């Protein structure tokens, strides 16, 4: 029998808890596997961007310094294409026509799109209604051009038949220099106003309702609430709409190609049609590429200037 006093107590053995393995992080705070996953997602798009955008852009810039007819080897001629371009009155006419088209198109399209978005936001939040409004945007430009070419036909077009039914004279919408460009602008306004309205509608959903409730308590009218709350808070969306619409308007081609082909009397010869005519009809790819570079620079300058003036990258919802 062992005395209890002779029994030595077993010392406590310290237990060590294994620390969880931490994923190594880089200086920017992202985990290594997150960076690898991001690379896997980015690489396919980067390859597509390089093959279909970056390489053609660099190739086009090089081509603008050459004389190339698509059949023989390009001949390097320096800035001769640009000197000729700035002395070409038809180029300046195409730039003027394009600017006029933008001035016809963008203000009306933006105002109508914003009005439709406000009505959609206040009257009925219906998916079917949004689909109907957006439907013209899903129709290809060529089909839209052919459709309106038939509707505006001076002899059998429904619009002219309606005008004669009201006792008015027929209008040759696409055959007169005075009406051809506004008619093309109207066609594209009809096609894109639903898309613009949907963008504004999405922006309206981000504005908190308590701001409008506070304005009503302060006695603000609906117009004052729209002017002082809605428009300032829609500035990022407005910037996106205006910039993308202007870029798209400077690139108008399909509707012109289907309806007027630059006529009558060059009244609808926009810059893209000017480029197409010289590059693919007259086989002067270098001259057409030079006009393309100038168009690109115009759009870059406009985008940066508009973003700077309107502070389009900032939001008042912060």
Q: What DSSP element (H or E) covers 201?
A: helix 177-204
Is residue 3 situated within a structural domain? no
For the full predicted model, state whether its pTM sits above 0.95.
no
Instruction: Mark whether 56 and 114 lie in a shared domain.
Output: no
Cα–Cα dist 267/198, whole Å = 32
Cα–Cα dist 102/142, whole Å = 20
Q: State how many domains the chain has.
A: 2
The predicted pLDDT at position 8 comes to 45
Is residue 248 situated within a structural domain? yes
Instruction: Mark whether 38 and 123 lie in a shared domain.
Output: no
Is residue 204 situated within a structural domain? yes
Instruction: Mark whether 38 and 138 lie in a shared domain.
Output: no
Q: How far is CA 230 from CA 111, 162, 201, 211, in A?
A: 14, 39, 11, 10
- Beta strand segments in the chain, E: 66-67, 75-76
Instruction: Mark whether 48 and 98 lie in a shared domain.
Output: no
**CATH code where residue 302 lies:** 1.10.3720.10
C-alpha triplet 176, 177, 183: angle, nearest 5°? 75
Instruction: Mark whether 253 and 303 lie in a shared domain.
Output: yes
Q: Which of 289, 295, 240, 296 is nearest to 61 (CA)?
A: 289
Q: Which residue has the tokens 């309806």?
A: 259
Is residue 74 situated within a structural domain? no
Reported as a single tens digit per residue, the pLDDT across 205-247 is: 888 889 889 989 989 888 898 999 999 899 999 999 999 999 9
Q: How far is CA 11 from CA 4, 8, 14, in A?
A: 16, 9, 9
The predicted pLDDT at position 314 comes to 67
The predicted pLDDT at position 316 comes to 62
Instruction: Mark whether 59 and 93 lie in a shared domain.
Output: no
Instruction: Mark whether 130 and 224 lie in a shared domain.
Output: yes
What's the mean pLDDT when you consider all of the chain?
A: 88
Instruction: Mark whether 54 and 93 lie in a shared domain.
Output: no
Instruction: Mark whether 42 and 128 lie in a shared domain.
Output: no
The predicted pLDDT at position 125 comes to 65
Instruction: Mark whether 39 and 98 lie in a shared domain.
Output: no
Is residue 216 situated within a structural domain? yes
The predicted pLDDT at position 30 comes to 63
Is residue 173 situated within a structural domain? no
Cα–Cα dist 233/226, whole Å = 10
The predicted pLDDT at position 124 comes to 63
Instruction: Mark whether 239 and 290 lie in a shared domain.
Output: yes
Is residue 296 situated within a structural domain? yes
Is residue 305 situated within a structural domain? yes
Question: Cis omega (within 30 of 0) on the bond before 89?
Answer: no
75: β partners: 67
Which parts of the chain register pLDDT below 70?
A: 1-30, 124-125, 312-318
Instruction: Mark whether 245 and 106 lie in a shared domain.
Output: yes
- Where in the sequence is the domain holding 48, given as residue range(s)? 32-63
């Amino acid at each position: 029998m062992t005395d209890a006093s002779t029994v030595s107590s077993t010392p406590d053995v310290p237990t060590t808890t294994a620390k969880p393995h931490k994923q190594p992080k880089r200086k920017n705070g992202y985990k290594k596997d997150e960076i690898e996953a991001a690379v896997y997602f980015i690489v396919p798009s980067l390859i597509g961007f390089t093959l279909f955008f970056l390489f053609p852009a660099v190739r086009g810039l090089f081509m603008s310094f050459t004389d190339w007819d698509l059949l023989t080897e390009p001949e390097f001629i320096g800035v001769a294409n640009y000197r000729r371009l700035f002395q070409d009155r038809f180029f300046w006419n195409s730039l003027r026509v394009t600017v006029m088209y933008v001035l016809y198109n963008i203000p009306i399209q933006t105002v109508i799109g914003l009005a439709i978005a406000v009505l959609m936001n206040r009257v009925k939040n219906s998916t079917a209604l949004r689909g109907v409004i957006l439907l013209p945007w899903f129709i290809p430009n060529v089909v839209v051009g052919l459709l309106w070419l038939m509707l505006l036909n001076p002899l059998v077009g429904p619009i002219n038949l309606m005008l004669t039914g009201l006792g008015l004279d027929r209008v040759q919408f696409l055959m007169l220099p005075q009406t051809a460009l506004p008619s093309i602008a109207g066609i594209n306004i009809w096609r894109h106003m639903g898309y613009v309205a949907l963008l504004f509608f999405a922006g309206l959903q981000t504005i908190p309702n308590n701001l409008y409730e506070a304005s009503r308590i302060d006695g603000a009218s609906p117009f004052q609430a729209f002017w002082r709350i809605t428009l300032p808070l829609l500035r990022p969306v407005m910037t996106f709409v205006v910039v993308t619409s202007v870029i798209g308007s400077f690139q108008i081609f399909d509707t012109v190609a289907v309806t007027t082909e630059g006529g009558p009397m060059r009244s609808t010869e926009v810059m893209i049609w000017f480029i197409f005519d010289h590059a693919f009809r007259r086989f002067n790819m270098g001259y057409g590429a030079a006009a393309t570079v100038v168009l690109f620079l115009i759009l870059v300058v406009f985008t940066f200037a508009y973003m700077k003036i309107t502070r389009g990258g900032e939001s008042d919802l912060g």
